[in-house]
Amino acid sequence: MIRQPLEDGFITVSRAKSTIRFPAQFMLVAAMNPCPCGYFGSYARRCKCTPGQIERYLSKISGPLVDRIDIHIDVPAISFTRLRSKSGQLDSATMKQDVVRAGDVQAKRFGDGKVMTNARMSHKQVEKWCRLDSASELMLKQAMTEFGLSARAHDKICKVARTTADLAGAEDIAPEHIAEAISYRKLDRKL
Ligand SMILES: [Zn+2]
């Protein structure tokens, strides 16, 4: 049920006499454990699950839904030392500045159009605003083949790379932006 609003920002309710379309744009943030016991990949405790159990657990979330989520990442537990250390961390205020700046870049890019953010670009806009150099093109091609990515995942990678470039203040998408965007498709590899 969540697929349609995720995809086009509308929800359609059909009854015998009429069909009504409601606006339903939202940001989906979801979390799941890496395995049934929750410790797969943890440095602190040992995971007791079998590969079969992990596979069955991960397959509970449907491929088409995962395909519609822009960014999937691992969030490992934080070690005590890192938890206590104050150095080298990006604080929320700086992060906010970067986000606002990237938002301004996007507002300028799309002008008064219906689309306001990279995430909402149509395929045509992706072609226009996410031009890739040959190195990025090759990297994307390899990822598509290796992980069997869909056309939708292809566009999502381009959009996320565009945002990564915007956050870095870069005019063009560079290979490191595409590489970062590809690394955010973790679940495509597991399912
Ligand atoms: Zn486990």
Cα–Cα distance for residue pair 188/191, rounded to 1 Å: 6
C-beta atoms surrounding 19 within 10 Å: 8
Instruction: Judge contact between 178 and 139, C-beta under 8 A.
Output: yes
Ligand 1 centroid – CA 37 distance (Å): 4
Ligand 1 centroid – CA 32 distance (Å): 12
Longest dimension (CA), the chain: 62
Q: Is 56 helix (H, G, I), strand (E, B) or coil?
A: helix
Residue 190 pLDDT grade (very low, low, confident, very high; cuts 50, 70, 90): low
Instruction: Judge contact between 27 and 8, C-beta under 8 A.
Output: no
Give the helix/strand (H/E) hosting 145. Answer: helix 134-147
Ligand 1 centroid – CA 63 distance (Å): 21
Instruction: Judge contact between 30 and 70, C-beta under 8 A.
Output: no
Q: Cα torsion for 173, 175, 176, 181, to the nearest 10°?
A: 70
Instruction: Judge contact between 152 and 115, C-beta under 8 A.
Output: no
Write the pLDDT tens digit of every residue in 89-126.
Answer: 788 999 999 999 999 999 999 988 787 899 989 999 99
DSSP, residue by residue, 89-125: PPPHHHHHHHHHHHHHHHHHHHTTSS--SGGG--HHH
pLDDT of residue 85: 81
Ligand 1 centroid – CA 190 distance (Å): 15
pLDDT of residue 148: 87
Range with lowest mean pLDDT among 49-63, 71-85, 90-104: 71-85
pLDDT of residue 77: 81
Cα–Cα distance for residue pair 83/33, rounded to 1 Å: 21
Q: Which two tokens stand for residue 152?
A: 């939708």
Ligand 1 centroid – CA 80 distance (Å): 22
Ligand 1 centroid – CA 157 distance (Å): 29
Ligand 1 centroid – CA 81 distance (Å): 24
Ligand 1 centroid – CA 8 distance (Å): 36
Ligand 1 centroid – CA 42 distance (Å): 9
The pLDDT > 90 percentage for the chain reads 64
Cα–Cα distance for residue pair 73/37, rounded to 1 Å: 19
* Closest among 91, 97, 155 to 126, alpha carbons compared: 155
Ligand 1 centroid – CA 44 distance (Å): 12
